[in-house]
């Protein structure tokens, strides 16, 4: 039997060493006893599948990339984690240090980027756009599109406690947790601070002395957006950060 997909032929291939190797690999990464929508197990469903063009449907040993498309970063700027779409990052930006330029909303960032405030070597910081600070999480497609459109995609990074869409390109790190509105370190960044991004180490670090940060923390007051909706005010008070799923707490 053949499928409609010209690259996937459903027929039993002749036994060979390659097949045995692939079968062993498949068994190690798939739950073959899981039920599918047809009522068959996954193992039954794929038992006679044979890849006939490995340039289209690839084996593990000739994969387009040996790493996944996303990278979870940790560091003093994201103790609970942050997310980078590493597949969209230029090689030259995978190890990057730059000077912070801070914005307290996406709208403020758009005006600043369009107005020429962001230069090569900058790390754009967009904060108070996490679940609590937004409130909600706007996608940051407009600021990233501006950066790319201005030819700064390989010289400017962007970090935020907000989120990105699937179309985002460049060194754009989102879902930083703890977020600014709950007192995360991203709230204490000042213009000119050095920020270091390392994809190889999976780290995001603010390179500022701890005593300076303690002094900033002592004077910090959260930036308050004007929220007219009573529901959104309630949401902002009860929602958890992105690392914890942006869920509403049931107990105070």
Residues identified as active-site: 165
Helix ranges, the chain (H): 17-29, 42-46, 106-114, 141-149, 210-219, 230-238
- Output the six-digit token pair for 4: 């409609």
Alpha carbons within 13 A on the beta-carbon side of 232: 11
> Which residue in 77, 168, 85 sits closest to 125, CA to CA?
77
- Please name the residues in contact with 220: beta carbons below 8 A apart, sequence gap of 6 or more: 183, 187, 188
Q: Cis omega before residue 140 (within 30°)?
A: no
Exposed/middle/buried for 151, CB within 10 Å: 0-12, 13-18, 19+?
Answer: exposed
Q: What angle is formed at CA 201 by the lines to CA 243 and CA 140, rounded to 5 degrees?
A: 45
Instruction: Tell how far CA 70 is from the center of its chain.
Output: 6
């Amino acid at each position: 039997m053949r499928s409609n997909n010209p690259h996937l032929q459903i027929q039993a291939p002749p036994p060979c060493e390659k097949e045995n190797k692939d079968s062993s690999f498949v068994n190690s990464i798939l739950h073959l006893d899981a039920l599918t929508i047809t009522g068959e197990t996954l193992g039954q469903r794929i038992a006679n599948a044979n890849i006939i063009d490995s340039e289209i449907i690839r084996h593990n040993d000739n994969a387009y990339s040996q790493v996944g498309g996303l990278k979870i970063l940790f560091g003093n700027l994201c103790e609970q984690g942050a997310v980078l779409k590493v597949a969209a990052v230029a090689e030259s930006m995978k190890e990057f240090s730059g000077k912070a330029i801070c914005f307290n909303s996406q709208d403020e960032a758009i005006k600043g980027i369009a107005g020429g405030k962001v230069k090569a070597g900058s790390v754009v910081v967009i904060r108070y756009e996490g679940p609590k600070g937004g409130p909600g999480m706007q996608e940051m497609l407009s600021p990233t599109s501006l950066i790319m459109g201005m030819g700064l995609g390989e010289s400017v990074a962007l970090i935020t406690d907000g989120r990105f869409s699937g179309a985002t390109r460049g060194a754009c790190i989102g879902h930083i947790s703890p977020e600014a509105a709950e007192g995360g370190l991203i709230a204490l960044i000042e213009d000119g601070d050095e920020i270091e991004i390392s994809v190889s180490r999976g780290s995001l670090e603010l390179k500022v002395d701890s005593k300076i940060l303690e002094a900033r923390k002592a004077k910090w007051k959260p930036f308050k957006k004007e929220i007219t909706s009573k529901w959104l005010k309630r949401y902002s008070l009860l929602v958890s950060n992105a690392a914890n799923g942006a869920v509403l707490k049931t107990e105070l």
